[in-house]
Structure 1
Amino acid sequence: MVIANALYFDKRIPEGFYQEPSDSTVYRVTTHVKNTDLLPLANRTGQPVYELASDDFNEALTWSEQAAVLQPIYRQLVDNGETALYRQFTRVDPDSPDVVYLQRILRASVIDRNGVTDRYKGRITSSTMNAEDIKRIIEYLWTFTVNNNFGTAVLSSDITETDTGFVHVMKQARLNMSNNDSCDSIEVYRVTYTVSRSSGFINKDEALERIILAKRSGNILEICQP
C-alpha cells in the first residue's frame, strides 16, 4: 500500500532525497544549456545533444547569452549565482515577470555529460568526491528527467562504496493507468548506477522486480493483486 500511496498521491521522492529550492511567489523554469542551444534552429537536426559544462564564468555567461539570443523570445539576464555543481543565470521576460527562467551550466570540474545515452550518464571528473557527493549528483540528474512526473516515484535511494567505486541503487515505481474501470498496473524496478573510481564513468542499469495491480477510488486505494 505504501508504493500505491506514493504514486496515486504524487509523493515522488523519499525523505532526504535532493530537492530544488521552492519559491511560491514565482513560477520557475529550469533548463541546462545544451550544445544544440548554441546553434540556429535549422542546424540542430541530427546533432548529438548533451549538457554543457565549464569552470570558466565568462565562458558560461557567453553560452547563456548565446542560448538566450537564439530563443524565440529573448529573456533578460537579471541575476547569476552558483553552487558546487553548476552556475546559474536567471532570466525574465519583462512582459511576464511572474515566470523566472533559470539557465544552468554544469561545472566541468565535477561532471562531464558529453556522449550520454540511455545507459551511460556521464563522467564524474572530480577525484575528491565521497559517497554522499555522488548520491547528490545522481539524485540531481534524476530530478531533471522525465521520470520526475506524476505516475513515477523513488521509493528509496541508497549508495555504497566499493573497492572499485560506488554503487547507487534507487528503488522506483511506475504507474500505468488503465483506460477503463479495471485495475492499474504498478511496475516496481531497481535502478542501479555504478560509478567507476578510476574513470568516473556513470552507468545505469534497470531491472523490473515485480508488478502490482491496484486502483484508486477518490481517496480510497485498493490492491487488486500484490
Structure 2
Amino acid sequence: MLKQIKGTLLGGHFSYYITRDQEYFIKICYDKEWVEKEYSNLKKYWNKLNINHLNLAEPIKYSLEKDYLITRFVKGKRLVELLDPNIHRLFGQLLRKFHNKGFTHSHIELTDIIYRDGQFTLVDVPFFNEKSSIHDIATIGICFKTYRLKEPWNWYKWGKCFKGFLSGYKLEDFTDYKKEYKKSFNKRMDYFIRKGGKKNKIKAYIMKFFYKIGLL
C-alpha cells in the first residue's frame, strides 16, 4: 500500500509516495533520463561520501519502463521545517566538507535535506557533481530568501538560519556567490515563465519583482 505525498516539483514532473510501513520512498518521474541518472548517482556514491553525519539516500531499484525510483525512506524532518540556526550552521559545516571532497549536489533545496538526531541525508540527486559548489550555495541562498517571503511572520528566524548556515560554511568571498545567485535565480524564473502553468508564471513574475526591489 502506498501513501502519496502532496507537492510536486517543476510544474508536476514528479509524484512522491511512501509505503504504508514507511520503509520505502517512491519517486515517479516523467523524464526517464532523470530516473536513470539519479539511481546511477545514488548507486555510485551513497556509501562513499565518508563524511560523518552526512549521507545520501540508499537506492533500492528503478524502472525506466514505469519511470520510478525507489530509495530507502529517510525518517526525519526536512531542513525547511527546522528554524534552528544551530542545525543550519551544522549543515553548513558538513556541506563545506562535502564540497572540499569534490562533491556537489547541483540542484540543492532546503527540501532536499533530511535531518534526524544529528544526521543529515541528501535526496533528489539527478544532477550530482554536474555544477559548481558556489551553485549549491547560491540555490540554498535563494531558498532561504524565498521562504522568508513565504513566511513573513518568520522573517527574523529565516534570516538567523541563513546567517547560521553561512557561518558554518565559512564562505569567504561573496563576489562569485552574488554572480551565481543572480544567474541561478533568473534561470529558474525564466524556466517557470516558459514552461510553467499560469500560476507558476504569475509567481515567477512576482519573484522577479521582489528581486528587483532587493527582497530576494
Query: TM-score, normalised to structure 1's length?
Result: 0.25
- Between Structure 1 and Structure 2, which shows a larger proportion of strand residues? 1
Q: Work out which of the two has the higher radius of gyration on C-alpha atoms and give 1 or 2.
A: 1
Query: TM-score, normalised to structure 2's length?
Result: 0.26
- Between Structure 1 and Structure 2, which shows a larger proportion of helix residues? 2
